[in-house]
């Protein structure tokens, strides 16, 4: 799974590395978080097609799922494009999808995030409803706080194959398999411009922090980083055997 893909630099990194890694590592399923593909905020039909064209099987998202309105009809179709399942009822799209024998779920945290429904109970409910259909369950947990993602990991340990953090755009080094067999990491990190503040032009971000005035944020350019994790999951039991960071950089 690749973390948040940020703008054109992120799409470029995915195009560069996903096809190679698919062959090199004999990948069965590739997931990427697409919420920042459209110029840093949201997704468009073009940016999601770019990801599919690069060999991504399932696209997850987060708080920026609907930031570009032209994407809204998309997830109503059968495309493997999902948004956090714990948005309130009536929000467009779906919170999970089945792909290549796996159930891929998107949830969102509530600490320093939009006030969505309780992610713990929302995923409990989903597992009760459709969990019997497959042992392999991969969760993109879109969260800001390491405390909340950590709690989600331990709560679902042994009941899902992986709880993988996205949203902060900064990869963490705490990837491990929890005692009951759930692969966990606080954040995968992004695919996007290296010389940036979470993908954005540093000067733009500084202007906001130092004046507290609104100013638009541009996606940075230059060298790209590609942040992902490789999971080995036993398809018969759904237990994770390993989780390993796969990080790359390109000029």
Element (H, E) at 22: helix 7-24
Give the nearest distance from C-beta 175 to Fe ion in angstroms.
Answer: 19
Given the residues 64, 142, 167, 169, the one annotated as active site: 64
Q: Minimal CA–CA distance to 159: which of 129, 131, 140?
A: 131
Of the two residues 4 and 148, which places its CB atom closer to Fe ion in the complex?
4
* Main-chain phi, psi angles of 212, to 5 degrees: 60, 20
Please report, for residues 73, 116, 121, 187, the alpha-carbon distance to residue 85 in angstroms, rounded to integers and kept in the order given: 17, 9, 11, 19
- Please identify which residue in the block is written with the tokens 């100013």: 215
Give the nearest distance from C-beta 130 to Fe ion in angstroms.
Answer: 25
71 exposure class (CB count in 10 Å sphere: 0-12, 13-18, 19+):
buried
Of the two residues 48 and 177, which places its CB atom closer to Fe ion in the complex?
48
Of the two residues 225 and 233, which places its CB atom closer to Fe ion in the complex?
225
Q: Residue 115: CB partners within 8 Å, gap ≥ 6? A: none
Query: Which residues of the shown chain bind Fe ion in the complex (CB under 5 A)?
Result: 4, 35-36, 62-63, 167
Give the nearest distance from C-beta 62 to Fe ion in angstroms.
Answer: 4
R_g (Cα) of the chain, nearest Å: 17
Of the two residues 181 and 192, which places its CB atom closer to Fe ion in the complex?
192
Give the nearest distance from C-beta 171 to Fe ion in angstroms.
Answer: 13
Residue 102 pairs with which residues in a beta bridge? 99, 136
- Catalytic site includes residue 64: yes
| Catalytic machinery residues | 64
């Amino acid at each position: 799974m690749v973390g948040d893909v940020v703008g054109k630099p992120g799409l470029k990194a995915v195009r560069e590395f996903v096809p190679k890694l698919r062959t090199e590592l004999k990948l069965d399923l590739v997931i990427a978080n697409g919420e920042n593909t459209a110029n840093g905020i949201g997704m468009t039909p073009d940016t999601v097609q770019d990801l599919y064209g690069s060999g991504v099987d399932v696209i997850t998202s987060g708080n920026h799922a609907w930031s570009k309105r032209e994407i809204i009809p998309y997830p109503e179709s059968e495309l493997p494009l999902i948004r956090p399942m714990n948005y309130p009822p009536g929000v467009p799209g779906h919170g999970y999808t089945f792909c290549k024998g796996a159930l891929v779920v998107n949830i969102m945290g509530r600490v320093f995030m939009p006030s969505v429904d309780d992610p713990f109970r929302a995923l409990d409910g989903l597992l009760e409803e459709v969990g019997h259909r497959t042992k392999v369950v991969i969760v993109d947990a879109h969260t800001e706080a390491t405390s909340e993602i950590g709690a989600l990991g331990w709560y679902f340990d042994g009941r899902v194959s992986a709880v993988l953090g996205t949203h902060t755009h900064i990869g963490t080094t705490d990837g491990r398999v929890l005692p009951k067999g759930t692969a966990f990491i606080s954040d995968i990190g992004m695919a996007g411009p290296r010389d940036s503040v979470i993908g954005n032009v540093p000067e733009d971000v500084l202007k906001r922090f130092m004046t507290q005035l609104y100013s638009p944020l541009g996606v940075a350019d230059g060298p790209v980083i590609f942040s992902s994790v490789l999971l080995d999951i036993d398809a018969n039991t759904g237990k994770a055997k390993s989780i390993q960071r796969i990080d790359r950089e390109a000029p």
